[in-house]
């Protein structure tokens, strides 16, 4: 009974203490709010209403009234940068860094923001110098990621590789795919300088970093073909099917030319027919159509186009099918087919596009690095058609 009595007594005491604590917190909050200038709340209101120009004016007034407010300096600098006023953003963050009493964490924050200002302004050298000064602390990994962006813009692939490896040691996600792409870029530079040995070395490093790098395999075939080793080039390009068959359209034309150079055109035609049956694709059909027509006649090309349309009907494939039918038709049927093909081609000539799976950027050419978001291997290696054509 005594225990129950004390429990009953403890309940109202705990309630009273909680009520007093809440009152104290409320008074503290009201007191702190009362000390803030009205301009601060006006600035917040403008931000919530998506009026950045008015918010900047309000926050500038607050900073004049209370120059010690670090958080408002950061908010003001970020607002300037988002508006494209990088010079003003740089001045705000430089003013923060000039303060002798700035804590280490806030100094690192200001340095990171200043680096972002320089990057946005296109001052890559100053941005690199700023980010390189952040060797440790909460902003070190973000600084390394920014450096990776800078080296990509500058096409300094050796520094990109070193930075990616540094990021991995700091605990970032694996970057094997990106590292392989950097080595491929170096290999392409070597090929342009006709340095096949260096190109092979870089491609070996690319495949070591990422054994599934389709680009490294394709470039290895290109190196062999340039050196006259057509058999070796064919072996490299055929390996793409095991890595990722979606990329076969990128090597179809190369393979057909290599087979023709070796006097094995029929073997190449058989391979294309097998791939089109196994992996229906307009891009594969485009690569094989003229080759098959020249080698085996228009009827064989017609059969190839018809089989493709039965498996994957689309407007681009329809133009090929009409072309095949037109080549074997007689007048006036041939004129009708020509009219139909012309109308469809005019309507669809700009439709098929490679589309970035990351940002949606669409392009007529295939890119290993998206021009829109700079992501690597974000393009699906087959062209797609929108559901509706543009007016």
What are the binding residues for Fe cation?
Answer: 356, 359, 370, 373
Taking the C-alpha atoms of residue 227 and residue 283, their distance in angstroms, rounded to an integer, is 27
Cβ atoms within 10 Å of 199's Cβ, excluding its own: 24
Taking the C-alpha atoms of residue 333 and residue 337, their distance in angstroms, rounded to an integer, is 6
| Rounded alpha-carbon distances, angstroms, from residue 104 to 39, 78, 126, 142, 251 | 29, 20, 21, 16, 54
Cβ atoms within 10 Å of 190's Cβ, excluding its own: 20
- Backbone phi and psi for residue 380, each to the nearest 5 degrees, phi listed first: -70, 135
β-strands 354-355, 362-363 pairing: antiparallel
Could you list the residues known to form a binding site, using ranges. 356, 359, 370, 373
Dihedral sign for Cα atoms in the order 243, 185, 286, 339: positive
The size of the chain, in residues, is 391
| DSSP class of 253 | H
Residues contacting 329, CB < 8 A, separation 6+: 337
Taking the C-alpha atoms of residue 219 and residue 363, their distance in angstroms, rounded to an integer, is 22
- Backbone phi and psi for residue 369, each to the nearest 5 degrees, phi listed first: -120, 125
DSSP readout, 175-231?
A: -HHHHHHHHHHHHHHHHHTT-HHHHHHHHHHHHHH-TT-HHHHHHHHHHHHHTT-HH
First to last CA, the chain: 86
Radius of gyration of the chain (CA): 32
Cβ atoms within 10 Å of 19's Cβ, excluding its own: 10
């Amino acid at each position: 009974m005594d225990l129950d009595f004390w429990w009953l007594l403890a309940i109202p005491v705990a309630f009273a203490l909680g009520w007093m604590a809440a009152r104290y917190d409320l008074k503290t909050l009201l007191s702190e709010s009362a000390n803030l200038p009205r301009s601060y709340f006006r600035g917040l209101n403008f931000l919530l209403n998506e009026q950045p120009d008015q918010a900047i004016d309000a926050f500038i007034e607050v900073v004049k009234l209370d120059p010690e407010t670090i958080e408002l300096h950061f908010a003001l600098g970020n607002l300037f940068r988002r508006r494209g006023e990088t010079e003003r953003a740089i001045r705000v963050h430089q003013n923060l860094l000039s303060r002798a009493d700035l804590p280490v964490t806030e100094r690192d924050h200001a340095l990171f923001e200043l680096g972002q200002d320089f990057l946005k302004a296109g001052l890559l050298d100053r941005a690199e110098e700023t980010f390189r000064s952040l060797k440790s602390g909460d902003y070190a990994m973000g600084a390394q990621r920014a450096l990776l962006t800078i080296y990509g813009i500058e096409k300094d692939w050796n520094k990109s590789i070193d930075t990616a490896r540094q990021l991995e040691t700091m605990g970032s996600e694996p970057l094997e795919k990106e590292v392989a792409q950097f080595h491929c870029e170096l290999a392409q530079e070597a090929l342009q300088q006709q340095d096949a040995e260096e190109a092979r070395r870089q491609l070996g490093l690319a495949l070591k970093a990422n054994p599934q790098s389709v680009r490294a395999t394709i470039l290895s075939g290109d190196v062999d073909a340039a050196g006259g080793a057509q058999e070796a080039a064919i072996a490299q390009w055929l390996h793409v099917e095991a890595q990722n068959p979606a990329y076969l359209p990128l090597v179809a034309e190369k393979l057909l030319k290599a087979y023709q150079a070796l006097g094995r055109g029929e073997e190449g035609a058989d391979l294309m027919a097998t791939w089109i049956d196994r992996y229906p694709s307009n891009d594969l059909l485009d690569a094989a159509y003229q080759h098959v027509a020249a080698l085996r006649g228009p009827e064989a090309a017609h059969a190839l186009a018809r089989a493709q349309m039965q498996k994957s009907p689309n407007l681009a494939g329809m133009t090929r099918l009409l072309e095949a039918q037109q080549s074997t038709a007689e007048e006036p049927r041939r004129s009708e087919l020509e009219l139909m093909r012309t109308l469809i081609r005019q309507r669809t000539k700009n439709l098929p596009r490679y589309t970035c799976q990351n940002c949606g950027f669409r392009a007529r050419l295939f890119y290993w690095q998206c021009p829109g978001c700079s992501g690597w291997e974000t393009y699906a290696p087959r062209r797609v058609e929108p559901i509706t054509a543009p007016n």
